[in-house]
Amino acid sequence: MKIRQATVSDLDGMVEVDRKAFGEYGSEKKYFIKKLSSFPGGVLVFEDEGKITGFFVFEILAKNDVPEDFCDIKLNEPIKGKWMHAVAFTGPTNYKDKISESKLLLAGEKIAKGLGCVESYVPLSKNHPFKKNGVFKFWELNSYKKVGEIKWKCSATEFIECFLYKKSF
Protein backbone atom coordinates (compact mmCIF):
# COMPACT_ATOMS: atom_id res chain seq x y z
CA MET A 1 0.00 0.00 0.00
CA LYS A 2 1.20 3.47 -0.88
CA ILE A 3 0.01 6.89 0.27
CA ARG A 4 0.71 9.86 -1.98
CA GLN A 5 -0.66 13.21 -3.07
CA ALA A 6 -3.48 12.91 -5.56
CA THR A 7 -3.26 14.05 -9.16
CA VAL A 8 -5.92 14.80 -11.74
CA SER A 9 -5.49 11.27 -13.13
CA ASP A 10 -6.66 9.87 -9.76
CA LEU A 11 -10.06 11.58 -9.79
CA ASP A 12 -12.05 8.83 -11.53
CA GLY A 13 -10.66 6.29 -9.06
CA MET A 14 -11.59 8.52 -6.13
CA VAL A 15 -15.15 8.90 -7.42
CA GLU A 16 -15.38 5.12 -7.85
CA VAL A 17 -14.18 4.48 -4.28
CA ASP A 18 -16.54 7.08 -2.80
CA ARG A 19 -19.56 5.84 -4.78
CA LYS A 20 -18.80 2.26 -3.72
CA ALA A 21 -18.69 3.38 -0.08
CA PHE A 22 -21.56 5.89 -0.02
CA GLY A 23 -23.72 5.07 -3.04
CA GLU A 24 -25.60 8.06 -4.43
CA TYR A 25 -24.15 10.23 -1.65
CA GLY A 26 -20.60 9.67 -2.90
CA SER A 27 -18.86 12.75 -4.26
CA GLU A 28 -18.78 13.70 -7.92
CA LYS A 29 -15.65 14.39 -9.93
CA LYS A 30 -16.25 18.16 -9.93
CA TYR A 31 -16.08 18.13 -6.10
CA PHE A 32 -12.65 16.49 -6.15
CA ILE A 33 -11.46 18.81 -8.93
CA LYS A 34 -12.44 21.78 -6.76
CA LYS A 35 -10.60 20.39 -3.72
CA LEU A 36 -7.52 19.46 -5.73
CA SER A 37 -7.46 22.93 -7.33
CA SER A 38 -7.87 24.84 -4.07
CA PHE A 39 -5.26 22.93 -2.02
CA PRO A 40 -3.44 20.11 -3.87
CA GLY A 41 -1.50 19.14 -0.73
CA GLY A 42 -4.77 18.37 1.03
CA VAL A 43 -5.81 15.50 -1.20
CA LEU A 44 -4.10 12.18 -0.51
CA VAL A 45 -4.79 8.80 -2.06
CA PHE A 46 -4.31 5.31 -0.74
CA GLU A 47 -3.06 3.13 -3.57
CA ASP A 48 -2.71 -0.64 -3.69
CA GLU A 49 -1.08 -2.26 -6.72
CA GLY A 50 -1.68 0.85 -8.81
CA LYS A 51 -5.38 1.11 -7.93
CA ILE A 52 -6.93 3.86 -5.78
CA THR A 53 -8.49 2.18 -2.74
CA GLY A 54 -9.03 5.18 -0.47
CA PHE A 55 -8.45 8.89 -0.06
CA PHE A 56 -8.28 11.72 2.45
CA VAL A 57 -9.33 15.29 1.65
CA PHE A 58 -8.59 18.04 4.16
CA GLU A 59 -8.22 21.78 4.28
CA ILE A 60 -6.23 24.15 6.46
CA LEU A 61 -8.13 26.96 8.17
CA ALA A 62 -7.18 29.94 10.30
CA LYS A 63 -8.24 30.04 13.95
CA ASN A 64 -11.44 32.00 13.35
CA ASP A 65 -12.38 30.44 10.01
CA VAL A 66 -15.31 28.06 9.89
CA PRO A 67 -16.50 26.17 6.80
CA GLU A 68 -19.63 27.75 5.33
CA ASP A 69 -21.47 24.42 5.53
CA PHE A 70 -21.09 24.26 9.36
CA CYS A 71 -24.24 25.50 11.11
CA ASP A 72 -25.32 25.65 14.76
CA ILE A 73 -21.83 24.95 16.09
CA LYS A 74 -21.70 23.91 19.73
CA LEU A 75 -18.13 23.41 21.01
CA ASN A 76 -17.04 22.52 24.53
CA GLU A 77 -13.94 24.69 24.03
CA PRO A 78 -12.82 27.27 21.45
CA ILE A 79 -10.59 26.50 18.48
CA LYS A 80 -7.05 27.33 19.61
CA GLY A 81 -5.32 28.24 16.37
CA LYS A 82 -4.71 27.19 12.79
CA TRP A 83 -6.51 23.91 12.21
CA MET A 84 -7.03 21.02 9.84
CA HIS A 85 -10.58 20.24 8.75
CA ALA A 86 -10.92 16.60 7.72
CA VAL A 87 -13.40 17.03 4.86
CA ALA A 88 -13.62 13.52 3.40
CA PHE A 89 -12.03 10.25 4.46
CA THR A 90 -12.77 6.99 2.67
CA GLY A 91 -10.47 4.09 3.43
CA PRO A 92 -10.16 0.74 1.68
CA THR A 93 -12.18 -1.10 4.35
CA ASN A 94 -14.40 1.76 5.53
CA TYR A 95 -12.96 1.74 9.06
CA LYS A 96 -12.65 -2.04 9.56
CA ASP A 97 -8.83 -2.04 9.21
CA LYS A 98 -8.05 0.64 11.73
CA ILE A 99 -4.27 0.15 11.56
CA SER A 100 -3.69 0.64 7.83
CA GLU A 101 -6.35 3.33 7.48
CA SER A 102 -4.74 5.21 10.37
CA LYS A 103 -1.64 5.55 8.21
CA LEU A 104 -3.66 7.59 5.71
CA LEU A 105 -4.96 9.87 8.48
CA LEU A 106 -1.48 10.28 9.98
CA ALA A 107 -0.06 11.27 6.58
CA GLY A 108 -2.57 14.12 6.38
CA GLU A 109 -1.91 15.17 9.96
CA LYS A 110 1.82 15.31 9.27
CA ILE A 111 1.21 17.75 6.41
CA ALA A 112 -1.10 19.86 8.58
CA LYS A 113 1.40 20.02 11.43
CA GLY A 114 4.11 21.04 8.96
CA LEU A 115 1.88 23.91 7.88
CA GLY A 116 1.48 25.13 11.47
CA CYS A 117 -1.81 23.52 12.49
CA VAL A 118 -2.27 22.99 16.22
CA GLU A 119 -5.39 20.84 16.03
CA SER A 120 -7.60 18.85 13.70
CA TYR A 121 -11.39 18.56 13.57
CA VAL A 122 -13.64 16.06 11.84
CA PRO A 123 -17.44 16.15 11.68
CA LEU A 124 -19.01 12.68 11.82
CA SER A 125 -22.71 12.22 11.22
CA LYS A 126 -24.56 10.85 14.22
CA ASN A 127 -26.04 8.15 11.97
CA HIS A 128 -22.80 7.48 10.10
CA PRO A 129 -23.17 4.68 7.52
CA PHE A 130 -20.05 2.96 8.88
CA LYS A 131 -21.09 3.05 12.52
CA LYS A 132 -21.14 -0.77 12.54
CA ASN A 133 -17.54 -0.77 11.23
CA GLY A 134 -16.37 1.32 14.18
CA VAL A 135 -16.06 4.78 12.60
CA PHE A 136 -16.21 6.57 15.98
CA LYS A 137 -13.75 4.10 17.53
CA PHE A 138 -11.36 4.67 14.60
CA TRP A 139 -11.13 8.39 15.30
CA GLU A 140 -10.91 7.82 19.06
CA LEU A 141 -8.05 5.33 18.57
CA ASN A 142 -6.26 8.11 16.69
CA SER A 143 -6.56 10.43 19.73
CA TYR A 144 -9.67 12.34 18.62
CA LYS A 145 -12.22 13.30 21.27
CA LYS A 146 -15.83 14.33 20.86
CA VAL A 147 -15.90 18.07 21.64
CA GLY A 148 -19.19 19.26 20.24
CA GLU A 149 -21.86 19.11 17.61
CA ILE A 150 -22.71 20.83 14.35
CA LYS A 151 -25.33 20.69 11.69
CA TRP A 152 -23.69 20.11 8.32
CA LYS A 153 -25.49 21.85 5.48
CA CYS A 154 -25.26 19.36 2.62
CA SER A 155 -27.77 21.17 0.38
CA ALA A 156 -29.97 24.26 0.47
CA THR A 157 -32.64 22.38 2.42
CA GLU A 158 -30.86 19.39 3.99
CA PHE A 159 -28.86 19.35 7.22
CA ILE A 160 -27.09 16.41 8.84
CA GLU A 161 -26.55 16.31 12.60
CA CYS A 162 -22.89 15.61 13.36
CA PHE A 163 -20.61 15.06 16.29
CA LEU A 164 -17.45 17.13 16.06
CA TYR A 165 -14.24 15.34 17.03
CA LYS A 166 -10.92 17.09 17.75
CA LYS A 167 -7.28 16.15 18.11
CA SER A 168 -4.64 18.52 19.43
CA PHE A 169 -1.16 18.29 17.92
Domains of the chain: 2-168 (3.40.630.30)
> What integer pLDDT is reported at residue 154 of this predicted model?
84
Distance CA 74, CA 79 (A): 11
Cross-strand pairs, 74: 149
pLDDT in tens, 101-159: 999 999 999 999 999 999 999 999 999 999 999 999 999 999 999 999 999 998 888 89
Taking only Cα atoms into account, the Rg of the chain, rounded to an integer number of angstroms, comes to 15
